[in-house]
Structure formats: structure tokens, C-alpha cells
């Protein structure tokens, strides 16, 4: 099978999966963009510029997203240690709980969809998501190293 044939329609499938994720996130009152930001912060505090690079969005977009999350008590802005002029974004305890709730909601939603698959197909489907995670992480890491 050619590379093009193996990827045929993959964009449509990814968009449909994204819609399922968005529906799951609605259960915890988060948008996909908000979830991406707090999930990223669950790996550690970050400056807006670094978040923008990792999320592949503009810095003003990060600021706007963070504003809403700060209002909800999910994220705090703190002076960066050693440089009081710079600010870092930190996930609060409440924010960490919401990330966990969001992860669980997404897992439930995907499991409900995957129930339509035979056991071997289901395992392959979730294995495929893990493979995409690895590829996406490596692509992001390489892009950050090249900057």
C-alpha cells in the first residue's frame, strides 16, 4: 500500500475524533484549546512564549486562553524565579483536578465509540493513538531543538 493510500481520509477521521474529544471536554466545561493549555501545564510551569511554541499558537492567543483559566482558578500567573519581570503560568490544584476529569471524560467517550470494534481492532486503534502521540512528541521536540 502506498503512503498516500494508507493516509487517505486520515484528516477526516482525525477531525471526527477531535469532535468526540470536544464533546467529552464539554462535560468539564473546557474547550479543546483550554484543555491543550492546561494539559501542557500539567507537565510543569511555563512562560507564555514557551506555551505558544509548544501549542503552535500566537502568544496573544495563549494570553487570552490563560485569562479565562486564571478567572476560573485553574491557572495562576507567578513571577518567574530569578526574573521578576517575567511571568510563568502554573497549574493550580483545581486545574490539575480538571485535567484529570477531562482525561477521564475523553477516555470514556473514546471507549464508548471503540465498543463498536472487535477486541483486536480496539487494541490496534488505541495502539495507533499511542503511536501518533509518540510521533507528535518527537516532531514537537525536533522543532523546538531546531529553533
What is the residue extent of each domain of the chain? 22-116
Domain at 22-116: CATH code: 1.10.10.10
Residue 110 and residue 80: Cα distance in Å, rounded?
Answer: 38
pLDDT of res. 1: 45
Residue 128 and residue 23: Cα distance in Å, rounded?
Answer: 21
| Res. 7 pLDDT band, cuts 50 70 90 | low
Nearest to 141 by CA among 79, 31, 53, 78: 53
Taking 90 as the threshold, does the pLDDT of residue 83 lie above it? no
Residue 134 and residue 65: Cα distance in Å, rounded?
Answer: 26
pLDDT of res. 10: 87
Taking 50 as the threshold, does the pLDDT of residue 69 lie above it? yes
pLDDT digits (tens, 9 = 90+) for 86-131: 889 999 999 999 999 999 999 999 999 999 999 999 999 999 999 9
pTM of the shown model: 0.85
Taking 90 as the threshold, does the pLDDT of residue 76 lie above it? yes
Amino acid at each position: 500500500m502506498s503512503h498516500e493510500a494508507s493516509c487517505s481520509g486520515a484528516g477526516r477521521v482525525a477531525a471526527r475524533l477531535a469532535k468526540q474529544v470536544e464533546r467529552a471536554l464539554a462535560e468539564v466545561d473546557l474547550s479543546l484549546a483550554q484543555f491543550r493549555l492546561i494539559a501542557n501545564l500539567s507537565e510543569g510551569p511555563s512562560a507564555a512564549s514557551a506555551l505558544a511554541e509548544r501549542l503552535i499558537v500566537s502568544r496573544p492567543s495563549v494570553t487570552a486562553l490563560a485569562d479565562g483559566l486564571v478567572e476560573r482558578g485553574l491557572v495562576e500567573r507567578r513571577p518567574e524565579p530569578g526574573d521578576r519581570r517575567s511571568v510563568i503560568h502554573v497549574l493550580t490544584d483545581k486545574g490539575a483536578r480538571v485535567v484529570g476529569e477531562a482525561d477521564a471524560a475523553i477516555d470514556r467517550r473514546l471507549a464508548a465509540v471503540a465498543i463498536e470494534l472487535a477486541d483486536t481492532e480496539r487494541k490496534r486503534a488505541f495502539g495507533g493513538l499511542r503511536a501518533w502521540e509518540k510521533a507528535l512528541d518527537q516532531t514537537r521536540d525536533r522543532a523546538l531543538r531546531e529553533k
